[in-house]
Amino acid sequence: MKKLLETFCKGIWKENPVLVLLLGTCPTLALTTSATNGAGMGLATTFVLTGSNFVISCIAGIVPRKIRIPVYIVVIATFVTVVDLLLQAYAPASLYAALGIFIPLIVVNCIVLGRAEAFASKHNPLLSILDGLGMGLGFTLTLTMLGMIREFCTSGAVFGVKIITAWTTDFLLPGSAPGAFIIVGVILAVRNFLKARAAVKAGKVYVPPAGLDCRHCSICAVGKDDK
Amino acid sequence: MKIRDNENLVVLGIFLALVSLLSALVLAVVSNLTSQPINDAKKAREAAALRQILPEFDNDINAKAVYLKSPAGWRIQVRAARKGKKIVGYAALAVNPSGYAGTVKMLAGVNPDGTIRAILVTEQHETPGLGAELCKRQFSKTIFNLTEPVPAGLPPNKYLDQFNGKKAPAKGWTITKDGGTALYATGATVTSRAIAKSASEIVLAFRRGRKTVNRAFGGVK
C-alpha cells in the first residue's frame, strides 16, 4: 500500500516531470501561455500517459528489446489518435475547441515515452497506471501554475478572468517562449534553493539533480576544479 | 530463445509489422465508429457559426453554393441566406493557405451590398496565446463581472470586426506595418496579415463576381 501511494505521489513533487526530470519542456514552454491552456495540455497528457503506461507495461514482456522504442511510439501514437477521434466525436464543442490543438502534440511529448521506457516497461500494470496518474498530475499542476504566472504577467488575467482591469496592453515577454524559459529557470532555481536549504538544515550534503548542478553546467567554471 | 532477446532482423521486422497492423486495425475500427458523430458535430458547429454571422434566415442555406475566384486565385464558396424570398446575406468561406502554421479558414457573413457583416475564423492552427488570440471571439471576463450572465450575440474582436461594413481599397486591406490601414498585433504579424488578406479576398471576390452571384441566386442589384 505504501509503495502504491509513493508511486503515485512522487510525480507531484519529488520527481516532478517538468521541474526535476526536465521532461516535456517543449509543451511546457510552448503551451503555457494561459492557465487554461496549461491545464488542458496537462489533463490531455495525463489521460494518454496513464493509458499508454498501462498498455506498455502489459506488453513489455513480449516486445523484443531491440525494437522496444518504435513499438512504444506506435502504441502511444495509436492511443493519441484514438483519444483525438473520440474527443472530436463525443466531447462538447467547447472542450474540443480548447483541447483539440494539444492532442497531436502529445505524441512528441517525451514524458510519455520517458515514463514508458523508465517505468512502465519495468513495473506491473497497476503501478504503471499510478505512475502515469501521478506524473500526469504533477505535469498538470506545474503547467497550470506556469500558465497562471505567464498569463498574469502578460495581461493581468488568470484563467481568462482579468484580475487587474486597468491592464489593457499586453506585456509580451512572459507570453513568449523566451519569457517561458526565464520563468521556468526562476522556478527551478527556487526549487533547488529550497531543497538545498532543507538538506543543509538537516545536516546532509545536498546533491542537485543530475545535469543541473555546477559540475555539469558549462556556463561558468565554478566547481570544475574538484572533478 | 525468448522473443525479448531476439535479434534476428527478419523476426524484428515481422514483429514491428504486426504491431503496426494491430494499431492500424484499432484505428480503422475507431475511425469507422466515430466518423458519423464527428460529421454531425462538425455540421452542428457550422450551423451555429452561420447563425452567428448572418441575420435571421429561414432557407436551407446548404442547398446551393457557387464558387467565386478571388484576385489571389482562391476559390471562395458562397451560399445565400434568405428570409422568405428576399436575400438577407451571403455566407462566404475563404481558406487562406498562408497562416503562421497552415491554413486559416474564414467564414464571413456578407451583406447583400457586398460589404462584410461579421467574420468568424472557423479553423486555424496559429500560435496559442498569440496568433490564436486574434482569431478568437470571447467575452472578456473580469473579477467584477464574473457572476453576470454572458451577453447574447457575437463577442467582439477588434481584429476581426475592423472590416465590418467597410469598403475595401482596390487592392484589398493590408496591415499598417505594410503601409495599409488594418490593425495588427505585435508578435502575430503573420496571423494579422492572413486575416486582412482573407477579408480582402472575400470582399474583392464579391466585387468581381457580382454577376456570378446574381445569376446563381437571382439576387440583388
Per-residue pLDDT, averaged over A35-40, amounts to 85
Where does the pLDDT of residue B148 fall: very low under 50, low under 70, confident under 90, or very high at 90 and above?
confident
Q: What is the pLDDT of residue B1?
A: 59
Most A CBs within 10 Å, among B11, B34, B183, to test the A interface: B34
Instruction: Compute the distance between CA of residue A112 and CA of residue A186 in angstroms, rounded to an integer.
Output: 25
Q: Collect all residues of chain A within an 8 Å Cβ-Cβ radius of residue B144.
A: 165
Q: How far is A107 from chain B (nearest CA, A)?
A: 15
Instruction: Compute the distance between CA of residue B117 and CA of residue B161 in angstroms, rounded to an integer.
Output: 9
A196 Cβ partners below 8 Å, 6+ apart?
Answer: A206, A208
Where does the pLDDT of residue A214 fall: very low under 50, low under 70, confident under 90, or very high at 90 and above?
low
CA atoms within 13 A on the CB side of B4: 5
Residues A77/A107, Cβ–Cβ less than 8 Å: yes
Pick the more confident residue, B62 or A211. B62
Q: What is the pLDDT of residue A213?
A: 57
**pLDDT tens, residue by residue, A152-184:** 998 888 888 888 888 877 787 888 888 999 999
Where does the pLDDT of residue B75 fall: very low under 50, low under 70, confident under 90, or very high at 90 and above?
very high
Instruction: Compute the distance between CA of residue B64 and CA of residue B58 in angstroms, rounded to an integer.
Output: 14
**Domain ranges (residues) in chain A:** 2-153
Q: Name the residue type at position B204.
A: L
**pLDDT tens, residue by residue, A109-143:** 888 988 998 899 999 999 999 999 999 999 999 99
Instruction: Compute the distance between CA of residue A189 and CA of residue B121 in angstroms, rounded to an integer.
Output: 41
Instruction: Compute the distance between CA of residue A138 and CA of residue A136 in angstroms, rounded to an integer.
Output: 5
Q: Is A221 on the interface with B (CB under 8 A)?
A: no
Pick the residue from chain A with its C-alpha nearest to B136.
A97
Cell numbers at B29, concatenated: 475500427
Q: How far is B130 from chain A (nearest CA, A)?
A: 8
- pLDDT at residue B140 is higher than 80: no
> pTM (2 decimals)?
0.75
- pLDDT at residue A212 is higher than 70: no
Instruction: Compute the distance between CA of residue A79 and CA of residue A96 in angstroms, rounded to an integer.
Output: 17
Instruction: Compute the distance between CA of residue B39 and CA of residue B44 in angstroms, rounded to an integer.
Output: 9
